[in-house]
Amino acid sequence: MLRFIVPFIIILFPIFTIGKFGVGWLVPAIIFDAILISLSIRIITPNTVKTVEFLGRFNRILRPGFHFIIPFLEWTKSQTLFRRNFPIDVEWITWDNVTGYIWLNVIYYIEDDRNDTTEGNIYKSIYNIDDPKTMMRSTIDEQLRAMMVTFTHKNIFEKREEIGEAIEARLREKLATFGYRLDSIQVRDVKLESSVMAAMNKIVETQKLKEAALNEAEAKKIMQVKEAEAEKESKILLWEGMAGQRMKIAEWFKESVDLIKQTDSSLNAEKVLQFLLDSSRIETLWNIGSKDNSKLIYLNEDLEWRASKLVSWSEIM
C-alpha cells in the first residue's frame, strides 16, 4: 500500500488546498506537487532493479518501469542484472616449488528469480555481500592454491581444463549463496617463472632438433637403401644381359664350327674354334687401328705369333 500513498497525495493535495483555502492556493499546491513528484518518481531501466527500504528496513523491489517512493521515508539501492566481466590473476606454487601465474576471466550475473522476499537472489546480492569481486578473488585463490600444490610444473599446462572446471564448480557453489550466477570461467593464460619457461623452451628446442636429426638420418638411410636396391637391380639386369650375350656368342660359335666342319670333315672342333677366335681378334685389331689417334699395346706375344701364322693354316683354308 505504501507505493500508492504518493500518487494519492499528488492528486488529493491540490483538491484539498482549493477546497480549504480557495483558488488562490492553486499555484502553491501545483509547486508542491512538482517537488513531490521530482523526489518520489523512480524510472527503472532494463537489466536494472532497485530495492526500497522504508525507514531503513527492506520493503519491496522495483523492476524496469515507472515507480513512486515516499520521499524522506523510503530509500533505494540499485542492482544490475546484465553479465559482468571480472579478470583475475593469481600467483601460486607447484608441488616442486615453482612459482606460476594464471590469468582468469570470470563472467557472472544476477538472475532475477522474481522472488521479492529475503530469500530471493536480488535481496541476497545486495544485502548478503558487500564486495562480490573480493569474494570471488579469495575463493579462486584458495581453490587454485589447494590444487596447484598437487601438480608439478611439467604437467601444469596439461591441466588447464581440469583447473578451469574445478574453479568453476567451487565458485558456482559459492556465488549461489549470495544470489549470483556463474556464466563461465575462461583460463586466459598460464605461465611459470621466466627462468623456468626459458629452460622448458630450451628443452623443447633441443627435442625438436633431435627429432629433426633423426628424421634426416632416417631419410638418408632410406635413400641409401633405395640406391642399393637400384644398384642391385641394375647389376642383375647387367649380368642377365651378359649371360644372354654369352649364350648368343656360344650359339654363333656352334653354328660357325658346324658350318666349317661341313666343308672339311677332317677338321676337329678345337682347330675350328681356335680359327674363329683368332679371326675375332684380328677383326678387333682392325677396328682399333681404323680409329684416329688410337694406340694398341700387345700384352700377349702368343697372339702376335698366331696372327703371323694364320695365313699358313692351309688345312683350314
Q: Residue 156 in 3-state DSSP?
A: coil
**Do 89 and 188 belong to one domain?**
yes
* Residue 91, strand partner residues: 101
Q: Does 237 reside within a domain?
A: no
The answer to whether the pTM exceeds 0.75 is no
Output the pLDDT for position 260: 67
* Residue 90, strand partner residues: 102
Output the pLDDT for position 76: 92
**By the 8 A CB rule, do 40 and 71 touch?**
yes
Cβ within 8 Å of residue 163, ≥6 positions away = 102, 144, 147, 187
Indicate the residue among 80, 98, 116 that finishes a domain.
Answer: 80
Output the pLDDT for position 122: 93
Q: Does 284 reside within a domain?
A: yes
Which residues of the chain fall below pLDDT 70? 1-4, 6, 8, 12-14, 194-205, 245-246, 249-250, 252-254, 256-273, 275-276, 289, 291-317
Output the pLDDT for position 315: 43
**Do 69 and 90 belong to one domain?**
no
Output the pLDDT for position 316: 41
Query: What is the distance between the alpha carbons of residues 75 and 50, in angstroms, rounded to a whole number?
Result: 10
CATH number reported for the structural domain that contains residue 100 in this entry: 3.30.479.30
**Do 123 and 164 belong to one domain?**
yes
Output the pLDDT for position 37: 80
Which range marks the domain in which residue 125 is found? 84-192
Exposure of 312 in the CB half-sphere (CA atoms within 13 A): 5
Indicate the residue among 158, 192, 226 that finishes a domain.
Answer: 192
Residue 269: CB atoms within 10 Å: 13
Output the pLDDT for position 155: 74
Indicate the residue among 80, 110, 138 that finishes a domain.
Answer: 80
Output the pLDDT for position 79: 92
